[in-house]
Structure 1
């Protein structure tokens, strides 16, 4: 299966082309330019360099959130547009599942997380054994104290993986000294991991119009709208 995969849900942007389970090209950047300016040029370049034509693609795999509100919208909108125009299925994959997949060789609990600001994190609970990673609890958003309490309930080896580990590491280690942290390199979200998940989970494939973003919480503008008595979402 020829898969074009990409993620823009965090400050990292990554895109990859995979052919029959093998990554033939991947492009990952940490630049401060907006993802909306760089994603399509990166995709065009990858397709040209790998020799895979858009018409040869069998599926799109994209991170659907949670993460940056704008980044999630870019990832999902681009995936829907490409899948619709090419008339191929799209795999919407959790940004947290993506991180957990990158730690699947660890044996034990894997807790991926993305900083959600204001002392909150997007997080999930996964378990890896024999190179297979399974989601054990639904992804969601927690304040950091509640998150640490959740970590304390996990029995056995625990690995945390996230790009902003240093922001929370001291507080976590104070209450959970046995928790391990993935390396900075391993914690960078890679688009090739999305393709790997798609290859393993055919049930995640949907039609373009069925793909919806996973924000995990309202955006700041929406919160203010509701607090001001705006009623339903604007």
Structure 2
């Protein structure tokens, strides 16, 4: 198939294009300039596999959780392609994209992404069983759940697996946490997940579908705080 995958959920942007058996990848970790580089970058990646946007069978993105600005950027870019060329957009949860490659492991797989403010976006599954629902957690909030997992070893993946292992190790002993060195390219997982969705006839994103943030934005937190203050005055 001919496809474009984008992950803008984190501080870096990863873009991949595939044209049947040819694939090209590009990662940008360049701070504030990422937004202005997105469109030229995916056009460049598409050109490396001899594709244009109008030839795509589908596009796919990480739909969150993640950066508010980054997620909106990806949705805007791929929705524009959908409107212009009728190319369906598929959305994959960020934690699902990062943990997909390890879903057949016979030990619990925990996915961790740094959510800042001493918090992590986490999920944990053991085979088909959900142990920790996708969410925004403090370490202390999941310490007892992790301690209660019936396995001495837990595999940790995600962009911030190493950081999570260090933090959980400060408050929890008795578990062996394992992670890979290096960072696998999650956009290849996006292709695999999207094509499985297509095969199962799972619908693409609707016009009104947007990012999955989990955490409220600072503006929403301030609004809620102000509303509470007004109600109590």
Q: Same fold (TM over 0.5)?
A: yes
Query: Would you say the 8 A contact 1:91–1:198 is kept in 2?
Result: yes
**Correspondent of 1:192 among 184, 188, 194:** 188
Structure 2 length as normaliser, TM-score? 0.85
Higher-Rg structure is: 2
Further displaced range: 215-224 or 103-112 = 103-112
Assess, with a 3 A threshold, how the Cα gap between structure 1 residues 184 and 211 changes in structure 2: closer, same or farther.
farther
What is the CA-CA distance between 1:230 and the residue it aligns to? Answer: 8.7
Match of 2:140 in 1: 145
Match runs of 1:126-165 below 5 Å: 126-128=125-127, 134=128, 136=130, 138-156=133-151, 157-165=153-161
Task: Give, in angstroms, the shift of residue 200 of structure 1.
Answer: 1.7
CA distance in 2 between counterparts of 1:16 and 1:173 reads 35
Paired residue for 1:226? Answer: 224
- Partner of 1:83, secondary structure, is helix
- Tell me the residue number matched to 2:17: 17
Q: With structure 1 as the length reference, what TM-score do the two structures score?
A: 0.84
8 Å CA contact 1:18–1:192 kept in 2: the answer is: no
1:149/1:66 Cα in 2 relative to 1: closer, same or farther (>3 Å)? same
What is aligned with 2:179?
A: 182
- Counterpart Cα distance in 2 of 1:135 and 1:18: 32
The offset of 1:205, in angstroms, is 3.5
What residue in structure 1 maps to residue 76 of structure 2? Answer: 77
Task: Give yes or no for contact 1:90–1:211 (8 Å, CA) kept in 2.
Answer: no
Between 80-89 and 51-60, report the one with greater CA deviation.
80-89
- CA distances 1:133-155 after superposition (whole Å, capped 9, x unpaired): x5725411111111222222222
Partners of 1:99 and 1:135 in 2: how far apart?
17
The alpha-carbon deviation at position 177 of structure 1 amounts to 4.2
Q: Which runs of 4+ in 1 moved over 4 A?
A: none
Structure 1 partner of 2:27: 28
Distance 1:19 1:58 in 2: 10
Structure 2 CA distance, aligned partners of 1:205 and 1:34?
33
Separation (CA, whole Å) in 2 of partners of 1:65 and 1:51: 29
Number of the residue aligned with 1:217:
215
Question: SS of the counterpart of 1:107?
Answer: coil
Q: CA deviation at 1:189?
A: 5.0
- Across the two proteins, how many residue pairs are aligned to each other? 224
Higher relative contact order structure (alpha carbons within 8 Å, sequence separation ≥ 6): 1
Secondary structure of the residue aligned to 1:46 is helix
RMSD over aligned CA atoms reads 2.4
